[in-house]
A and B are shown apart, each in its own frame.
Chain A
Amino acid sequence: MSDPQYRVILAKLGLDGHDRGIKVVARILRDAGMEVIYLGLRQTTASIVAAAEEEDADAIGLSMHNAGHLTLGPKMMEAITAAGLDLPLIIGGIVPDEDAAELEKVGVAAVLGPGASAEEVAAIVRDAISSRE
């Protein structure tokens, strides 16, 4: 095997039920040759960290559509750091530009918006992982 098989966790954190986008992203990453561990709706920072440890994930992707990103994004970052995990957190969904800058300041590796193409999504995830190695 030439390429290492990237394993990416995808989840919705908290009470955000909009899961159309994350399902599309799951399919995009699968078609880009990655293994997606799909956790689905109503996850907690603890359940996501536990899954990342058990699955030895290379990245975590969160989808956020209910304007909770400035609360939950930093919380997720804190949980990742507290657990001592060294992996990129990528947030996708509806995030205004100024908020994206805020999230990147607290350590979020990338923020993806609705306009991102499939190629961009896959490339950003891949780069976020490979830049850590």
Chain B
Amino acid sequence: MDATDNSISHLFETAVSGERRSLGKLLTIIERGGEPADIVAGLAHQKAGNAHVIGITGAPGSGKSTLTGRLIEKITKGGGTPSVLAVDPSSPLTGGAILGDRIRMDDLAGEGSFIRSMATRGHSGGLALAVPAAIQLFDAARYNPVIIETVGVGQVEVDVAGTADTTVVVVTPGMGDAVQANKAGLLEVADIFVVNKSDRPGANDTRRDLDLMLDLGHLSGLEEKTGYRPPIIMANSLEGEGAEAILTAIEDHRNHLSKSGSFETRQKQRTLMEIQNRLELLIGSTSSNALQSEAGEKILTEVLERNISPSEAAKSIASSIIRDLT
């Protein structure tokens, strides 16, 4: 284990001093999970805390990758060093994945930016650990901002997007009416709305529906509570229209965060969620180990013979896990 420790800290040192390949390898370690991933995450955590984390999310095909490509183009031209973590789903049947986000950003490889594709690998629990660790690793390697691009379906994705410093939700015309926009979920976590493909028919209707939804938030007092109304930006990413306005809106939101003190709140929320996810996974794996142990088998037999109930069994296993963990 010592040898691994040493090679990991060597990789980390070189990654932090700008060696891209080391950073690539560390991201692989994070993706694979387990003890080595925890070591990397621990090292990254010590050095992180400077980057602005931007979540970009929306339905498949809404133009997130193209938009992200436009943003990093502008950021690098302005002298910034953005990094992107593009999360795409793995096949639930084979575990394989086609990660195609780079096609939309291909002019940019190696020019001050860093793009990494990540597959969900079937287990949302793993993703919940890997994404925050990867964000902190980019941050430690002095990439700023860190952009997370995810498909906005599933709780983990909403969680990931929702705990970014600034969350950009990309919608396109023809995705549904005002009622859809009022459904709870992704739209609620938006700090900035982008109506992409604004040259398509219905783009203004989509804008109006979002505006109406935000008005209702105003009526119900939500807007007053946060002191912030998410802007709606029309964009045509393919043509590069709207990218500048989106960057300005991100900057404005950042200023709002630091003025209102929400920056710390979000940081706190994100850290809390990371601890909770780790705690739940730790308990989850400990309990499945306990179930598969000899004692677990014995308890199962007891339940099958109807000597004790499943809930009594669970409580009895829980108390033995607590003894093991502490």
Contact = CB atoms under 8 A, between A and B. Distances in A.
A and B found bound together: yes
Contacts of B325: none
Contacts of B24: 53-56
Which residue of A34, A47, A56 has the most chain B CB atoms within 10 A of its CB atom? A56
B109 A36 contact: no
A85 B97 CA distance: 23
24 contacts: A5-B119, A7-B28, A26-B98, A27-B98, A29-B96, A35-B90, A35-B99, A35-B119, A36-B96, A37-B99, A37-B102, A39-B106, A42-B106, A46-B109, A47-B106, A47-B109, A47-B110, A51-B109, A51-B115, A53-B21, A54-B24, A54-B109, A55-B24, A56-B27
Interface of A: 1, 4-5, 7, 26-27, 29-40, 42-43, 46-47, 49-51, 53-56, 85
Given A5-B121, A30-B91, A35-B117, 7 more contacts: A4-B32, A35-B119, A38-B100, A40-B100, A47-B106, A50-B110, A54-B114
Between B25, B27, B32, B119, the greatest number of chain A beta carbons within 10 A of the residue's beta carbon is seen for B119
Interface centre among B27, B103, B107, B121 (most CB of A within 10 A): B103
Given A1-B32, A30-B97, A46 B110 contact: yes
Interface of B: 20-21, 23-25, 27-28, 31-33, 90-91, 94-100, 102-103, 106-107, 109-110, 114-117, 119, 121
Given A29-B96, A36-B99, A38-B102, A50 B91 contact: no
Which secondary structure dominates chain B's binding surface? mixed
Given A43-B106, A56-B24, A36 B94 contact: no
Contacts of B102: 37-40, 51
Contacts of A53: 20-21, 24
A121 to B, nearest CB: 13
